[in-house]
């Protein structure tokens, strides 16, 4: 493995771009190869077996593209596919998920007493956040709420508008989220609606910027592995999707500038 090899990042769709963008900010010399499984999006209402299968196939694709590490930039795939991916290829390529860095961050905040988690149905039913946080900090109360409409809503470009305000308000008014000190955005799509969530809570609740927590951790892990690319090279990032959608194309432009070439790739059949 060499530092010049790319970082592989994947998600069910555009959500992982929030993580890719945060990684690019802290690691500007890295080449990114991104795969958005837009053909299977949303992952949140798929069976655990289906999510594991997609994750393994995408992991294999990124390994074949020569990535030095893989970042699962999707909470749903991190909840259900991470262990399998580590078992399948973890001895050949380091795999990072988006859950562990956020869990560590939250569990270390001593002034938090009650923390909310919002995510897809699959992530919330896996109960992974409450389990992992309480392993590190058993006193912390973790209240989880599935918010399944949010990811497809964002994927379709509905954020910072009346429709998103109404949907967000309806979910966040849940009694489960009363008196929380912090809210974990346990879906990589949600940084796009962070501002709306902050204003729902009148800026009284810490809305955790999970993408930047994950990016800082990826940098820390690469440093440990001595895999940071220190050469200043103009790389061309690569963006693959399993199904080319206009909203994905539009979002890659917003995050990564104009020169984005989207490549539709069928990785399911050989
Ligand atoms: N962005 C994904 C996550 O972090 C999920 C969206 C989906 O349901 O596909 O969980």
Contacts of 132 (CB under 8 A, 6+ apart): 99, 100, 103
Choose the catalytic residue: 33, 74, 93, 260. 74
- What's the mean pLDDT in 36-40? 95
Pocket test for ligand 1, best of 22, 44, 124, 241 (most atoms within 8 A of CB): 44
- Residue 72: its H or E element: strand 69-72
- Residue 102: its H or E element: helix 100-107
Quick check: 9 and 20 in contact, CB under 8 A?
yes
| Residue 200, both tokens | 């729902």
Determine the pLDDT at residue 11: 96
CA 16 – ligand 1 centroid, Å = 8
Beta strands in 166-205 (DSSP E): 182-186
Determine the pLDDT at residue 139: 95
CA 189 – ligand 1 centroid, Å = 7
CA 257 – ligand 1 centroid, Å = 23
CATH top class, domain 7-97+212-264: alpha beta
Confidence of residue 246 (pLDDT cuts 50, 70, 90): confident
Q: Is 119 helix (H, G, I), strand (E, B) or coil?
A: strand
Confidence of residue 60 (pLDDT cuts 50, 70, 90): very high
Residue 18 CA neighbour count, 13 Å, CB half: 27
Ligand 1 atom nearest to CA at 44: 8
Choose the catalytic residue: 187, 222, 241, 262. 187
Q: Is 123 helix (H, G, I), strand (E, B) or coil?
A: helix
256 pLDDT higher than 90: no
Quick check: 19 and 9 in contact, CB under 8 A?
yes
Ligand 1 binding pocket (C-beta < 6 A) is: 11-13, 15, 41-44, 74-76, 119-120, 123, 151, 187-189
Quick check: 37 and 61 in contact, CB under 8 A?
no
Per domain, the residue ranges of the chain are: 7-97+212-264, 100-209
Determine the pLDDT at residue 270: 64
Quick check: 264 and 244 in contact, CB under 8 A?
yes
Determine the pLDDT at residue 255: 81
**Is residue 250 annotated as a catalytic residue, yes or no?**
no
Determine the pLDDT at residue 70: 98
249 pLDDT higher than 90: no
- Could you give the residue ranges of the DSSP H alpha helices within 108-188? 121-126, 128-136, 150-155, 162-172
* This prediction's pTM: 0.94
Write down the architecture of domain 100-209 according to CATH.
Answer: 3-Layer(aba) Sandwich (3.40)
Residue pLDDT, tens place only, 95-134: 999 999 999 999 999 899 999 999 999 999 999 999 999 9
Q: Is 109 helix (H, G, I), strand (E, B) or coil?
A: coil
Pocket test for ligand 1, best of 22, 50, 76, 194 (most atoms within 8 A of CB): 76
Task: Provide Rg for the chain, Cα atoms.
Answer: 18
Domains 7-97+212-264 and 100-209 share a fold: yes
Instruction: Measure Cα distances from 198 to 41, 65, 99, 219 in Å.
Output: 26, 39, 21, 27
252 pLDDT higher than 90: no
Please give the residue that has the higher pLDDT: either 60 or 209. 60
CA 125 – ligand 1 centroid, Å = 14
247 pLDDT higher than 90: no
Q: Which stretch of 6-15, 33-42, 232-241 has the lowest confidence by average pLDDT?
A: 232-241
Ligand 1 atom nearest to CA at 188: 4
Residue pLDDT, tens place only, 155-205: 888 999 999 999 999 999 999 999 999 999 999 999 999 999 999 999 999
Residue pLDDT, tens place only, 65-104: 999 999 999 999 999 999 999 999 999 999 999 999 999 9
Mean pLDDT (the chain) is 94
Distance CA 97, CA 108 (A): 19
Closest to 53 measured CA to CA, from 93, 85, 97: 85
258 pLDDT higher than 80: no
């Amino acid at each position: 493995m060499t530092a010049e090899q790319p970082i592989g990042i994947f998600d069910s769709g555009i959500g992982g771009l929030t993580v890719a963008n945060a990684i690019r900010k802290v690691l500007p010399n890295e080449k990114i190869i991104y795969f958005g499984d837009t053909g299977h999006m949303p992952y949140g209402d798929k069976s655990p077996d289906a999510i594991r299968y997609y994750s393994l196939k995408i992991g294999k694709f990124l390994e074949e593209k020569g990535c030095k590490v893989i970042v699962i930039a999707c909470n749903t795939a991190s909840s259900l596919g991470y262990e399998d991916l580590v078992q399948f290829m973890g001895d050949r390529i380091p795999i990072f998920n988006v859950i562990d860095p956020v869990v560590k961050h939250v569990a270390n905040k001593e002034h938090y007493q009650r923390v909310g988690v919002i995510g897809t149905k699959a992530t919330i039913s896996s109960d992974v956040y409450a389990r992992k946080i309480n392993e590190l900090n058993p006193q912390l109360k973790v209240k989880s709420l599935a918010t399944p409409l949010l990811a497809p809503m964002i994927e379709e470009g509905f954020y910072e508008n009346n429709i998103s305000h109404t949907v967000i308000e309806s979910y966040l008014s849940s009694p489960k989220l009363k008196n929380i000190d912090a809210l974990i955005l346990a879906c990589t799509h949600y940084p796009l609606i962070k501002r709306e969530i902050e204003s729902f809570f009148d800026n009284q609740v810490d809305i955790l910027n999970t993408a930047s927590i994950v990016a800082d951790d990826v940098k820390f892990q690469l440093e440990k592995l001595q895999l940071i690319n220190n050469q200043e090279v103009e790389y061309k990032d690569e963006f693959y999707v399993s199904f080319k959608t206009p909203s994905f194309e539009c979002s890659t432009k917003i995050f990564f500038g104009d020169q984005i070439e989207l490549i539709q790739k069928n990785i399911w059949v050989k």
